[in-house]
């Protein structure tokens, strides 16, 4: 059975692009700044994994995805 609450990747990407535009990331940021943010978030993921903090792991993975999508916006 299909879950209607699940976004397609394209919908998710569009939502993140809109959010980033609203937050000024597209105006003030760069691909490099987003990759540095990804690097920071990977550190948080490693720490959460060491602590076996499932909620923090999920949060960090989501943040990594957002920063990579933001970096991709600058490449295009």
Q: What's the gap between Cα 38 and its chain centre?
A: 8
Residue among 39, 48, 44 nearest 68 (CA): 39
Instruction: Assess contact for 38 and 64: CB atoms under 8 A.
Output: yes
Contacts of 45 (CB under 8 A, 6+ apart): 57, 60, 61, 64
Q: Each residue of 50-60: pLDDT tens digit?
A: 999 999 999 99
- pLDDT recorded at residue 55: 98
Tokens of residue 49, six digits: 């994994």
Residue 64, token pair as written in the block: 């990594």
Q: Write the pLDDT tens digit of every residue in 18-59.
A: 999 999 999 999 999 999 999 999 999 999 999 999 999 999
């Amino acid at each position: 059975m299909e879950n209607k609450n699940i976004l397609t990747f394209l919908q998710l990407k569009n939502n993140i692009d809109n959010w980033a535009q609203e937050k000024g990331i597209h105006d003030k940021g760069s691909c490099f700044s987003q990759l540095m943010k990804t690097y920071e978030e990977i550190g948080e993921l490693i720490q959460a994994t060491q602590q076996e903090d499932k909620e923090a792991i999920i949060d960090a993975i989501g943040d990594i995805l957002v920063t990579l999508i933001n970096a991709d916006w600058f490449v295009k």
